[in-house]
Chain A
Amino acid sequence: EDQVTQSPEALRLQEGESSSLNCSYTVSGLRGLFWYRQDPGKGPEFLFTLYSAGEEKEKERLKATLTKKESFLHITAPKPEDSATYLCAVRPYSSASKIIFGSGTRLSIRP
């Protein structure tokens, strides 16, 4: 069964304290892995798509990486405005259009 697991469930950091969020997945074949950011009371906002092991994408203080079993979202020198829930999702080869979400990591950055 296709599955996505994110850890930790919640993470509290001091401003400037770098860390990483983990997304582990098991799928019959990976068509794409997506990272989203979700603020309270809003819909998920697309951040990155990763397609193959070894691929990396960067945007401001965020960098996403991908291996054959997991993806990491690295946050470098975070600021309070980076506080949000970060969702990981995968699209298996078996699906033309559906994605499977993890339950997310709630990130809180203290000033």
Chain B
Amino acid sequence: DAMVIQNPRYQVTQFGKPVTLSCSQTLNHNVMYWYQQKSSQAPKLLFHYYDKDFNNEADTPDNFQSRRPNTSFCFLDIRSPGLGDAAMYLCATSRAGTEDDQPQHFGDGTRLSIL
């Protein structure tokens, strides 16, 4: 089945130690998103790639970066994680730019813990 795959499912890192989360998709969607979700809250959009164009949300901390080397893969880099960055990180994809308004499809997330 075509899908969105996130690795790892669980990640533990130390305070201030850089960490990278990965996402891959077999849907051939042109848009990829990264969300942060804390307990009992809505997913919060960090940034998204529309094709190769990077779109950062105004309130996304500089500590968060992203790379999209090709259509299928996208990475989230947290340069110096703080305790407040402990959360579930969700990757999503969609096909935009068509007449049909396509929904976003989500991976199962990476649960990040900070020691």
Contacts and interface: CB of A to CB of B under 8 A. Distances in A.
Interface in B27-65: 31, 40-43, 45, 48, 50
Contacts of B109: 41-43
Interface residues of A, number: 23
Interface stretch (B14-22, B68-76, B89-97): B89-97
Contact of A96 (B41, B43, B96): B96
A57 B103 CA distance: 15
Nearest to B35: A101
B94 A97 contact: yes
Interface residues of B, number: 25
A46 B97 CA distance: 19
A100 to B, nearest CB: 9
Contacts of B6: 43
Contacts of A46: 103-106
B107 A87 contact: no
Nearest to B103: A46
B96 A97 contact: yes
Given A41-B111, A49-B101, A103 B41 contact: yes
A34 B103 CA distance: 7
B90 A43 contact: yes
A91 B108 contact: no
A42 B42 contact: no
Contact of A101 (B42, B48, B107): B42
Contacts of B92: 43
Nearest to A91: B101
A12 interface: no
Nearest to B94: A97
Nearest to A47: B103
Interface of B: 4, 6, 31, 40-43, 45, 48, 50, 88, 90, 92, 94, 96-97, 101, 103-109, 111
Interface of A: 31-32, 34, 36, 41-46, 49, 51, 87, 91, 96-99, 101-104, 106
5 contacts: A41-B111, A43-B106, A44-B43, A97-B94, A98-B48
